[in-house]
Every structure is written in C-alpha cells, then in structure tokens.
Amino acid sequence: MSQALTDALAWISIAAFVVAALAELRDRRTASLAAAGAWTLFAVFWLALIPQFLLVEKSAIEGVLSALAVPASLSAAYLLYRGRASLLVLTRGVAVMGLIYLPATTIPWLYGLLIETTTAQTDALIRFAGYDPTVATNEAGLRNTFVFTTGGHQYETFIILACTGLGSMAIFAGLIAAVRAPLRRKLAAFAVSVPVIWVLNLVRNAFIAVAFGKQWFQVAVPQVSMLFGIPPEESGLVSFYLADKVISQSASVVALVLITYPVVRALPELAGVLDDALYVVTYREFHIAEALGLEASDAGAAETTATDASHAAGSDSVGHSDDD
C-alpha cells in the first residue's frame, strides 16, 4: 500500500478521534458511538501498515505490533459501542497523540527541524563516545547521514522521523494530556517520561550508527541475511538489522514498559487508562493502582473509572459513568 494512502488513513483516523473527543463535551453517548467509529478506522490503518513493516522495513517487532493493534482497535470499538464509556479517556489520548505526531510528517520545516536536531545531538553523543564519523547532507538538503569508513567500505546510517522518538513521546504526552488531574502532577509525569525518552532515543541512534558503521554484529551472516532478505553483495547490512530491528527495538519496548512505572506513580489517574487498555486486550479487569500500592486518595479516580466502566461494559447505555 502506498505511503500516500497510509498517510491519508492516519489523518482520517485522527480526525475521527478528535471529533469523538469534541463530541464528549456535549453528549457521552454520541461521543462513544463516534469513538467506536474512530477505533474501527484505526484498525484499518494498522492493517494497512502490516505489509510496510514486514515486507519493506523488515521489522518483525513493528509488524507484529501492528497486527496485534488491529484486533485491539476493533475490541475497543466494540466495547465503546457496548457502553464502556471510560475508554473515552484513551480515545482523547489517541487524538492528542495524532495531533502531536502527524504534523511532523506533513510540514516540511517541522520535519526538517526534528531530523537535523536529532542528528546534531546524536553526532555529539557519538563523538563523546570517541568516534568520528562524517555527517553528510542527503538529496533533500537535510544534514541527517552518518558515514563511517571501515575496512575500506563506507557505511551510511540515515536519521528519519522514526529516529526522533516523536512517536513514543507522543504516546505519553497524549495520555498525560487526556486524564483529568492537577497540572502539577501532569508536569511531573511529563518530566519523568518525555525527556527520558528523548535521551534514550539519542543513545539508540548512536548505538545503531556506530554498530553498523563499525560492523559490530557480522555474526551468522548467511542466516540473518536469509531472515531479512539481505542480498549477498550487501551482507554488511547484517550489523544494521541486528542493531536496529532486533536489539534496539526490543530494548525500546522494555524501556517504554519501565518508564510507565514512574509515570503512573507521578500521575495515578493513568492507572485507570492502563486498566482499560488491558481490558480491551484480555477482557479481564485489572487494578494497577492497587498493584503499585498507590495511596487510595491518589488512585481513587483511576479505581473509580475501572469500577464504573466494568458496570458499563455490559450495558448498551453509555452515559451513566461520570468519572474518567
């Protein structure tokens, strides 16, 4: 599927989420039905991305996550239609995430600023570690390419939008913005998530660039080449695929899970959102606030959400749960 079509699906989906969030200001039943439609569109969007991740980018982790997102999105749509109104909080979060992330894909100056800022900071980190690559400019005029010369061969690593960490930062920023809580605690949650993700992302970029440039992971070359479809004349890419698609992406998933803990400690209201997200996947009630030992006064809103939502899930009425 073409990039233009997937971009269009992304914008249409996020527009639907924004409409659902705005509808909540007037009527929660209408908002829930609009949100069900938005999540259905979101499932179509993730379905369209599966071939891109698996066949073009050869990222098994992103491909599998996209495949899992399809039934999860459809499940959220069904639960909203059936009355789990607490999922409107997660719906608001996705709306904010999209409004943060999508402009960077379509506004050239913003895209360029993010790319070159990330490249410059990654370059500083690489040089601090004792390496001295050449930083080159691509055909579009962006200074985003690291060039290493190893064994008489040049190895180039390109910084693209996915390398900025904007997607992960948008997830946390969206969820933090979506819950209703005092600004002080929202800022605390922001401080222990978004800046940390930015720094870890720079470390990831530096690791991939150096690992590929210095050919650190040229192991099991025939097997890895077959797995990722690497032609024999480009076998040097084995280091890149192992560093990026296997090691870094696996570490990123673990890092995001670990970052979630201090974020929820700082903003207990997010526990209810995570409870709902887990219910979408498992259809079992979770009580993360209780598991983390949060004080009842702090976690009350989150626990109330999960409790109210569990009653709403079995009913076609979507307007009787007042707390998010």
**Residues with catalytic roles:** 163, 204
Judge contact between 61 and 245, C-beta under 8 A.
yes
The DSSP call for residue 192 is T
- Could you tell me where the DSSP H helices lie in 83-218? 87-106, 108-128, 166-178, 183-191, 194-213
Structure-token match 């959400």, residue found: 305
| Crossing angle for the helix pair 87-106 and 60-82, to the nearest 10 degrees | 140
Our separate counts of H helices and E strands in the chain read 14, 3
Closest to 147 in 3D by CA, of 113, 123, 121: 123
In terms of residues, how long is the chain?
A: 324
**CA-closest candidate to residue 32, choices 82, 94, 98:** 82
- Residue by residue, DSSP assigns 73-117 as HHHHHHHHHHT-TTHHHHHHHHHHHHHHHHHHHH-HHHHHHHHHH
**Which residues are CB-neighbours of 231 under 8 A, at least 6 positions away?**
225
Rounded CA-CA distance 168/86 in Å is 23
Among positive and negative, which fits the CA dihedral 88, 92, 97, 98? Answer: positive
Residue 211 phi/psi, 5-degree rounding, is -60, -40
Token pair 């933090």 is found at 176
Structure tokens at 276: 């709902």
CA 119 distance to own-chain centroid: 20
